[in-house]
Structure 1
């Protein structure tokens, strides 16, 4: 019996492994350990996974074979890489610097090809198809060094923006060339081929950019609450696009890339859906693909003779030189500094995802041999290391030159930003939390604080338990979206007082509130809760009504009243509106006078906030009804108001939440009250009894109006009244 058991165990571990559960376990172990171990010696994780595949593959220790399951996961990973490449492109950045991006794109596309083709054809002796394929591979680049850009805070430097924009052009052009090369390898490049390719490509683009966005917008609007369905829908679009591309005579990776571009504006970069897409891709599919690439590599070929080493060395030198010359030409054209040239080179010199995708297709169609495949792996290893080192050095130079993103006077405020979200209605919780995540500064170490205030009465203890239970459901949603939150539940005699006290305890920079609901006669006389919060705090307040998903919005209409630029919170709220526009990929239409327009333009330029904005000059601010012509039902309305007594305050702003709710009930809307400078130390005692003269006078006026309305109602009901 012992012998049979030992035979059973030994059979299970026979190589290559055949047990699917054991194969999957081994793959997961490699995905877990390879990046952790190689991070210690500063080698990119992508290289570790490829090397792991080399070791366990058929040409290594022969632990794993190229089974159908491995090939399936590899295909999914390849498509996923190209999809995320299209999805993560910042279209606002591209539009802002599109002319310079086009110039850089031309340089970084044609220069490597112009150098690479003669080298491949005349020196390495490749045929025409292989020479074009390999030289076009030199034109691609993967933003492996982008995390370095983020860590040094230079992501909004123009050199970074044009490099990212150039990625769209080079990757798209190379993928089209790939379709032509694959087509030519399977037949003749006759007139019929070109007509068929042109027609199928046109139909494919019409489906992807004409039909798919409409379906996606409808789906995200109608199936708003089913978060799992959103991810499944996105996966369906990716693989359906890959299938359509294949039917059209194009490569499936082109379909996946175009699917990313088509869905780009519907999936905000800080959204829970984006987090799920990246998480599952980076955790399973993409590592699986990288390991499978390593399994194809036969490292022994490099030692069989000088040919493989010559190919690997030549490809690497051409790849690095081509990208450096393209960066140098870009520097000369736009008069950039040496540090900016090095930034462009560092970002564009790494060859990884797109390069792998192209070479794998070429290898599968027998256009290139294993020497080129192995040489490409060496190229990827060296260029990723060179790019990381170059980017690290360039980023330090840019920072020392004072060209980092954050405006100096706002640096500390943004870095230590703390957002408070009081929750009264659980139905509003998810979208308010999503909104907080979109506008929150990514460098702030503080979590978003979720607050529940319970009235201090005989049911306080029971209500507090209920509030904590509600906060637990909020915590589950936040953890599922990887949103870092801090939960607070407190008891207070006054809800507004509790919110005000909590905001001071955590030193909040802003409070995000749901839209104020209808109030009764007592609240009208004594003071509404939202107004009470305004009076008790000096920080930025955002009142939000999101009745529809953000995907239903076509643009952001920003109403900026005269002298809003003179408020203390001007830079804060404008930064947040710009950030929201970038996240949602929406244009901004700013309604303002000439002075405010100048201030907004100047701040956005100084802060390097690259949102797509245009201005509408407006002068009649005493009649809010005159704004109606600028606003449609599909707009996200952002209205900047002010507290009573502040410099930009207008009498027309009295009761503005109610006016906006009545006139723009179909719109998603945000009402902003900018932070103000504290007027007196005695304002801190508002919670007890002390109020400024203006506030007290306002309250008396309200009470008088309330009593007057009650008396009028009573007079109407008196016998003999003619009213």
Structure 2
């Protein structure tokens, strides 16, 4: 073999690697392999990536060294961590428990800081700036063990809610304190510094929460079809906010965190955009940052003396003690149980993302030394393990005590939910699928089914091939939000009959359809398709007109007629409206009578939902026109109707899609027909075509009016 070629190969693999392609390939290999190997020995993925960075870093095997490319990706990952931390916080939950969250946030910030400062200053011997920075690191926490409480079904327990809410306050306070500490370390902590900090922070907040959300809302509305552009825009906002924070003498990570809070309400947690943000961040940017943190760690310091182990032990004990005392004080203040105290401690004791952010900034400014950096890695490892074990034990106690989230909905409709989406117009496909993604029960084993019914005529086979091709494009769109869908194409003499048959075949619990087009005179005479579908099915049916993007909505208006609470599907549609409200982070105004208000209020309180809801009493249900005074142009209108013969049915509901669609022509609309009890055997055996084409009450009224007009003209 040519010696030149061998030398070339040797040079290519000389350490540290210099080829950017090889460096990137190695990083990706570590990101791929590390979680797989460490999952078997129950080591958190975050620790595995950091340890991998230690191994390949310049202080160990020296395979990689920190260069401009590594620093760039590391910075992106750091900002991404803080951005997702702000984006994933449930602001509705925080608003609901804001007073208790504020108290816990104060405890979990001030107690660890007060304990940490004397430990760092008097025991470890650090100066004032380093002691304050390290003690502020103790105040941060990351909800590493939140998936545990989610798996046990206790996410709505008040102890969980205030811990999540307290995260907003303590992390924000730590990041602001960070700016002060850095200013102090540079000798700038004078009157001019405080004036500049307050003024710049005020301007920064004005831009982030006054200007950015308006621009983002406008962009998402105007560039609705360009899904890739949405993600690029979000990235731009994150890095612009980081740069703006830097200009305002704040740390860039503060800007990224505030960007997450600013865009929180505009990006639903189940949306395709949220999926892209989390997917790219968790698969590339954040792991890159964690590996780069490991590369900074110098394991040789450990062998030079016991200083690192001494610092690591002191930091770990102090971090856990501070969080435990804060949890105990919260229990005493609000009279919580011992299990709830353990739950709060378990959720708030893990130090990960924000802790790394603070320590890395301190290390870059040379406020803290390598001993603290290395000790922090130990803190992260120990606290993540302790947090997971404590949270799991506390969750079991909470469940055994009977404090699990109460399930008050029909188990057959929600636990085994199956949504059927008949598609007649491809233009309605994307918004309907987005709606199904927002409202569906994420724990249901059934994915939404997309249905296309082809008329049984001489072109049936050709039309069926076209329908299946169109359904394939829907599957491609659904994959953007990692939503799996089933597709189904069928031939039937009658469209409504085909939908009914498919609904029975898949045991659908809900049918989600687009808004009907204007009916022709023939359809009015023999019965419209929508009415035929209602006659042929018993499950909940949601009829949607979604012409405006969800981001343009400011409120959801729920119009509930009398006796709606007596229908079989009452809890089901109320659960769907609750999910929609929570996903879009919108307030809910319910217009109903006092009896319905009592039933809805009871449901919302028992479900422990975090949505902001209000009621308006309305008595003149004979006049649906009067409801329009409650509706504004930016409201999402949900109108609860009923099938003919149902308990809450009223003659004024005849032709309700046409009438409601006309009154609220500038609004997004969802018309709800609750599920009903099975029809009698006589009705079930009635010929399908007789039911489909039987003249409706609206048809009789329509003919009467036309006949009256003719007599008047004569």
TM-score normalised per structure 2: 0.98
- Distance of 1:708 and 1:604 partners within structure 2: 44
Q: Deviations over 1:412-437 (max 9, x none)?
A: 53221111111111111111111101
1:398 corresponds to 2:398? yes
Shift of 1:594: 1.2
Partners of 2:497 and 2:688 within 8 A in 1: no
After superposing the two structures, state which structure 1 stretch, 293-302 or 163-172, moved more.
Answer: 293-302
- 3-state SS of the aligned residue for 2:579? helix
After superposing the two structures, state which structure 1 stretch, 111-120 or 369-378, moved more.
Answer: 111-120
1:699 corresponds to 2:704? no
Q: Which residue of 2 aligns with 1:56?
A: 56
- Distance of 1:614 and 1:700 partners within structure 2: 36
Partners of 1:454 and 1:495 within 8 A in 2: yes
State the Cα RMSD in Å: 1.6
Are residues 388 and 412 of structure 1, via their aligned partners in 2, closer, same or farther at CA, if it must alter by over 3 Å?
farther
Within-5 A mapping of 1:283-682 = 283-407=283-407, 410-682=410-682
- 3-state SS of the aligned residue for 1:347? helix
- Distance of 1:711 and 1:348 partners within structure 2: 73
Partners of 2:83 and 2:260 within 8 A in 1: yes
- Distance of 2:596 and 2:408 partners within structure 1: 22
Shift of 1:402: 2.2
Shift of 1:446: 0.9
Q: Which residue of 2 aligns with 1:73?
A: 73
Q: Deviations over 1:434-483 (max 9, x none)?
A: 11011011111111111101011111101100000000100110112211
- Distance of 2:445 and 2:401 partners within structure 1: 26
Shift of 1:155: 1.4
- Distance of 1:417 and 1:700 partners within structure 2: 31
Partners of 1:497 and 1:687 within 8 A in 2: no
Q: Which residue of 2 aligns with 1:9?
A: 9
- 3-state SS of the aligned residue for 2:263? helix
- 3-state SS of the aligned residue for 2:688? coil
Q: Deviations over 1:545-601 (max 9, x none)?
A: 111101111000111111111111111111111111110000001111111111111
- Distance of 2:383 and 2:173 partners within structure 1: 21
After superposing the two structures, state which structure 1 stretch, 14-23 or 415-424, moved more.
Answer: 415-424
Q: Which residue of 2 aligns with 1:40?
A: 40
- Distance of 2:699 and 2:135 partners within structure 1: 79
Gaps of 5+ in 2: none
Q: Deviations over 1:629-681 (max 9, x none)?
A: 11001000011111111111122111111111111111011110111111313
Q: Deviations over 1:494-518 (max 9, x none)?
A: 1111111111111111011101110
- Distance of 2:633 and 2:526 partners within structure 1: 34
Partners of 2:655 and 2:698 within 8 A in 1: no
1:100 corresponds to 2:96? no
1:210 corresponds to 2:206? no
Q: Deviations over 1:26-63 (max 9, x none)?
A: 00000001011111111111010000000000011000
Q: Deviations over 1:677-721 (max 9, x none)?
A: 113133333553565xxx99x7265555565567678x68xxxx9
Q: Which residue of 1 aligns with 2:228?
A: 228
Q: Which residue of 1 aligns with 2:114?
A: 114
Are residues 66 and 652 of structure 1, via their aligned partners in 2, closer, same or farther at CA, if it must alter by over 3 Å?
same
- Distance of 1:571 and 1:238 partners within structure 2: 40
Q: Deviations over 1:188-226 (max 9, x none)?
A: 311000000000000000000010011001000100000
Partners of 1:160 and 1:344 within 8 A in 2: yes
Gaps of 5+ in 1: none
After superposing the two structures, state which structure 1 stretch, 493-502 or 251-260, moved more.
Answer: 493-502
- 3-state SS of the aligned residue for 1:615? strand
After superposing the two structures, state which structure 1 stretch, 699-708 or 337-346, moved more.
Answer: 699-708
Are residues 182 and 683 of structure 1, via their aligned partners in 2, closer, same or farther at CA, if it must alter by over 3 Å?
farther
Aligned residue pairs: how many? 714
1:250 corresponds to 2:250? yes
Partners of 2:654 and 2:698 within 8 A in 1: no
TM-score normalised per structure 1: 0.97
- Distance of 1:588 and 1:278 partners within structure 2: 28
Partners of 2:475 and 2:485 within 8 A in 1: yes
- Distance of 1:546 and 1:438 partners within structure 2: 13
- Distance of 1:421 and 1:150 partners within structure 2: 29
- Distance of 1:411 and 1:710 partners within structure 2: 48
Shift of 1:242: 0.1
Shift of 1:326: 0.9
- Distance of 1:423 and 1:413 partners within structure 2: 22
Q: Deviations over 1:338-358 (max 9, x none)?
A: 221111111111000000000
- Distance of 1:235 and 1:531 partners within structure 2: 46
Partners of 1:323 and 1:348 within 8 A in 2: yes
- 3-state SS of the aligned residue for 2:518? coil
- Distance of 1:483 and 1:701 partners within structure 2: 40
Q: Deviations over 1:286-312 (max 9, x none)?
A: 000000000000122122212111100
- 3-state SS of the aligned residue for 1:391? helix
- 3-state SS of the aligned residue for 2:591? strand
- Distance of 1:576 and 1:333 partners within structure 2: 36
Are residues 665 and 14 of structure 1, via their aligned partners in 2, closer, same or farther at CA, if it must alter by over 3 Å?
same
- Distance of 1:435 and 1:406 partners within structure 2: 25
Are residues 403 and 700 of structure 1, via their aligned partners in 2, closer, same or farther at CA, if it must alter by over 3 Å?
closer
Within-5 A mapping of 1:124-163 = 124-163=124-163
Are residues 160 and 702 of structure 1, via their aligned partners in 2, closer, same or farther at CA, if it must alter by over 3 Å?
closer
Partners of 1:575 and 1:609 within 8 A in 2: no
Partners of 1:536 and 1:683 within 8 A in 2: no
- 3-state SS of the aligned residue for 2:695? helix
Shift of 1:409: 5.5
Partners of 1:129 and 1:181 within 8 A in 2: yes
- 3-state SS of the aligned residue for 1:454? strand
- 3-state SS of the aligned residue for 1:350? coil
Partners of 2:539 and 2:675 within 8 A in 1: yes
Partners of 1:683 and 1:690 within 8 A in 2: no
- Distance of 1:372 and 1:17 partners within structure 2: 28
Partners of 2:204 and 2:245 within 8 A in 1: yes
- 3-state SS of the aligned residue for 1:599? helix
Partners of 2:417 and 2:509 within 8 A in 1: yes
